Amino acid sequence: MWLSSDIENHRQYEDFNATALYCSKCKQAMPVRDRLLLILPDGELYEYICQRCGSSVGTKKTTKSRSELSI
């Protein structure tokens, strides 16, 4: 027997590019904006900020193309 709520939660975690992430302060999925946190040698680190309470709800790392680095 499938629990539909479990499936929905799983999908949210898989799609990390979603514009809404779970905020532990708001105790629900909230719209987020991303902010550049760090510039790394191989990419950039972004932080997701809850639009309601302004707390960090996660980070995302974007990497430059690996073929470019291997040269």
| Whole-angstrom distance, CA of residue 64 vs CA of residue 57 | 24
Residue 50 found at the interface with Zn ion (CB under 5 A): yes
Residue 29 found at the interface with Zn ion (CB under 5 A): no
CB of 61 within 8 A of CB of 46? yes
Nearer to Zn ion, 26 or 44 (CB): 26
Residue 33 found at the interface with Zn ion (CB under 5 A): no
Residue 45 found at the interface with Zn ion (CB under 5 A): no
Q: What is the dihedral of CA 47, 50, 51, 54, to 10 degrees?
A: -90
Residue numbers of the site for Zn ion (CB under 5 A)? Answer: 23, 25-26, 30, 50, 52-53
